Chains A and B, each alone.
Chain A
Amino acid sequence: MASTYTPIATTTLGSAAASYTFTSIPSTYTDLVLVFSGTLSSADYVCMRVGNGSIDTGSNYSHTDLSGNGTSASSSRSSNATYFFTAPMNTNQNNMIINFQNYSNTTTNKTALLRWNTPLTDGGATGVVGAEVALWRSTSAINQIRVLTYAGQNFNTGSTFTLYGIQAA
């Protein structure tokens, strides 16, 4: 029986880094799922850029988000942004799952769905859970994905990044 999720690439950081890039992503799957679990050197926003052949750093991204911090729920959006997502994370164990649907088609712009959480700690840091829908205004297939931080904080050693392909029957 074929597996639902096929690991394309996975890495555990052996040293701190401000970004991690998946390259040469094959076009043979129907959807992609990216899973991140890790900590940051200091509080920052975790972002993403994608591209075909090279990472797109232009103002071709936008998103709408929904989040809750244990007290209230809120929503915001960005337009003409240079990042796919902006998820606030900190020095605790953060988690993020991103679905890229129909990522390799060359007809439509690309939509992705993100779920993330930053845990509550006994030290008083606020736990936050959120979701975002994001748009990359390009009809190019996605074959590169870069996860990075907005202000340049590092992903700590031991942070993991895994990319899965999902193949429809």
Chain B
Amino acid sequence: MQFNGDTAGNYNAHAIEANGSSVSAQSQTSLTIVNLGGPFTTQTANAFGGSVIDFLDYADTNKYKTVRAIGGQDLNGYGTMMFASGLWRSTSAITSIKMVSGGTGWAQYSSFALYGIKG
């Protein structure tokens, strides 16, 4: 994921990830992209991964932007589950979000929805 077209190394991320038998954690800094969806594989028999990502205080121009995510994919015998958070080191309001796959592209019927939550 990238914000406002920023492709520089302004992203940090850390996550805890499980694969059905073990759990691991990871932390990365100065990324050019923030991974919040989990390591999805090629879709099998119409089994798609899913992610829910929260952008907190996305329009505040006084702070860096923090996001958090829960994501995973289960393929009936293989699966990954992930909690992640990310930081975009910019005080700019988020006005665009680019969802980036890891090189293989999004499969047909992948869907994306963005909702606003107003206090």
Contacts and interface: CB of A to CB of B under 8 A. Distances in A.
Contact of B45 (A31, A105, A109, A115): A109
Contacts of B51: 113
Nearest to B17: A66
B113 A113 contact: no
Contacts of A62: 74-77, 79
B113 to A, nearest CB: 4
Interface in B36-82: 45-52, 70-77, 79-82
Interface residues of A, number: 36
B103 interface: no
A98 B49 CA distance: 15
A95 to B, nearest CB: 15
Given A4-B116, A111-B74, A99 B52 contact: yes
A30 B81 CA distance: 23
A108 B73 CA distance: 13
B16 interface: yes
A131 B15 CA distance: 13
B50 to A, nearest CB: 4
Contact of A64 (B20, B52, B83): B20
Interface in A114-169: 115, 131-135, 137, 139, 166, 168
B47 A135 contact: yes
A105 B74 contact: no
Interface in A79-117: 79-80, 99, 101-102, 105, 107-109, 111-113, 115
A112 B50 contact: yes
A79 B117 CA distance: 36
A169 to B, nearest CB: 8
Contact of B75 (A31, A75, A135): A135
The 5 closest A-B pairs by CB, nearest first: A64-B79, A133-B72, A75-B18, A77-B20, A66-B18
Interface of A: 1, 4, 30-31, 62-66, 73-77, 79-80, 99, 101-102, 105, 107-109, 111-113, 115, 131-135, 137, 139, 166, 168
Interface of B: 16-23, 45-52, 70-77, 79-83, 109, 111, 113-118
25 contacts: A1-B118, A62-B74, A62-B76, A63-B79, A64-B20, A64-B79, A66-B18, A66-B81, A66-B82, A74-B18, A75-B81, A77-B20, A79-B76, A107-B109, A109-B45, A109-B46, A111-B73, A113-B51, A113-B70, A131-B70, A132-B72, A133-B71, A133-B81, A137-B76, A166-B113
